[in-house]
Amino acid sequence: MPGGRAFNIIILAIFIDVVGFGMIVPVLPYLNFVYGGDTFTGTGLISIYALMVFVGGPIWGKLSDRYGRRPTMMATFLGAVFANLSLAHADSLLMLYIARGFAGLMAGNVAIALATAADLTTHHDRGKAMGFIGAAFGLGFALGPGIGGFFSGTSTNPDISIPAYFAMLASFVALVLTYLWFPETKNDGLDTEPDLENPTTPPEPLHVSGEKHSLKDLLWPLPNAVIFIFFMICAMAQSATFSITPFWATAVLGWDQKQVGLLLMETGISVAFVQAVAVGPLFQKFGEVKTIILGCSLSIIGSLIMLGNAGVYQVYTGLPLIFSGLTVSFPALNSLLSKRTSRKIQGEAMGFSNGMGAIGRVIGPLVAGFVFIAYSPDVPFMMVILLCLVTIIWGYWEIHRKKL
C-alpha cells in the first residue's frame, strides 16, 4: 500500500469512523417521520450535515497545514464523539438537526486524510492512494448501515440511541489509534518533488513554514477552478441518490430501515471493491479525466435501471452502479487536483475541494427531496443523469484542451 505505516493507520482510523457514521444513516429518515417531518426535512438532515462540512472543511485543512495532520485529525475524532453522544439523546426534529450539524462541523478528517495522502505519496502512486481512501470509506459505509439497521428498532418505532452509541465508540477508537500510532506527516522542510504532469517544470518546495497564500493560488489557472466546480456537481448527484434512497425504497417498495440498511451495505461493498481494485489501474491506463467519464457513464446506466418499474433485482443492480461510478470520480478529481496544486497548500486545497463537495451535498438532497414530493420518486434519478452528462461534457473538454 502506498504511504507505508502512517498511511495504513489513517486508513484504519477513517474506516472505523465511517462505520460509525454509516450506522446512523438507515434510521434517520424513519425517525424524521416520527418527529413530524416529511421527505424534504428528511433529506434536509443530510444537507445540514453537509452545510457544516462546508463551513468546517477548509478550516480543518488550513489548521492541518499550520499545526500538523496528527493533532487536527485527533480533534475531529474527539468532536465526533460528542456529536454522536448528542444524537443518542436527541428527542425532537430540532435536536436531530442540531446533532447532525455539529457532526458535520467536526467532519474534517476527510480533508486531512487527503492531505496526508499527498504528504506520503508521489504523483505516480497518488491515484492509488486516493483509491484506498475511497475504499476505506466504501467498506466502512458498507458495514455501518447493516449494523445500524439491525439495531434501530422498526419503521413504526425507530430507535437511534444504540447506533449512535456505537458510532460514538467507533470515533473514540479512531481517536485512540491516531494518538498511539499515527506520526506527523506534514513536511516543513525544503524537500522537493518534480511535477510529473509537466516534466519540464522545475521542482518546487514541498512547504515553506510561515509563507502566506491566497485563494488565487487555489483557483488559478482557470482549469483548476473548474475542477472545484465538478467536486460540487458530482457531490450533488451522489448525495441526491444517497439521501433519497430510503424514501424511494419506502414509497416504491414498502421497505423498512433494515432492508434499506442491507441495500446500502451491498452498495458499499461494491463501492469498496471498485475503489480498492479498479481505481489505481484505471488511472494508470486511462488517466483521471477518462476515468471520470467512464464513472459517470456507469452512473447514468444505473440511474436508467432505477427508472420505471424497478424491483428488488433492479435496485440491487442500479444503485451500486450509480454509487460506484460517482465514487470513482472523487479520487480522480482529488488526484487531478493534487497534481495541479502546489505541495505547500495541499491541505488547504483538499479542504476547499471538500467544502465545494459539501455545497453539492447541501443542494443535492434538498432538490431531490423537493422534486420527490412535487413530481414523483423517479425524478431525482433523472437529475442524476443530467448532472453526469454535464460532467462527461467537461471531461471531453479537458481531453480536447490537453491536445491543443
How far is residue 96's CA from residue 86's CA, in Å, rounded to a whole number? 9
Question: Is residue 285 classed as helix, strand or coil in its secondary structure?
Answer: helix
Question: Is residue 200 classed as helix, strand or coil in its secondary structure?
Answer: coil
Range from 51-60, 75-84, 186-195, 389-398 carrying the lowest mean pLDDT = 186-195
Residue 356, CA distances (Å) to 58, 65, 378, 402 in order: 9, 19, 26, 24
Residue 165, CA distances (Å) to 10, 77, 129 in order: 22, 14, 31
pLDDT at 110: 72
Percent of the residues in the chain that have a pLDDT greater than 70, as a whole number: 85
pLDDT tens-digit readout, 229-273 = 999 999 999 999 989 999 999 888 888 888 888 998 888 888 888
Residue 196, CA distances (Å) to 121, 200, 302, 340 in order: 13, 9, 35, 10
pLDDT at 201: 40
The terminus-to-terminus CA distance of the chain in angstroms comes to 36
| Torsions phi, psi for 38 (to 5 deg) | -130, -170
pLDDT tens-digit readout, 344-374 = 666 677 777 877 887 898 999 999 999 999 9
Better-scored residue on pLDDT, 115 or 207: 115
Q: Does residue 197 carry a pLDDT above 50?
A: no
pLDDT at 384: 96
Domains and CATH numbers, the chain: 4-183+215-403 (1.20.1250.20)
Residue 2 pLDDT level (bands cut at 50, 70, 90): low
Joined grid coordinates for residue 382 = 433523472
pLDDT tens-digit readout, 317-345 = 999 999 999 988 888 888 888 777 766 66
Cβ contacts of residue 332 below 8 Å, gap of 6+? 127, 130, 279, 283, 288, 289, 291, 292, 295
pLDDT at 212: 52
Residue 216 pLDDT level (bands cut at 50, 70, 90): low
Whether the link from the prior residue into 331 is cis, omega within 30° of 0, is no
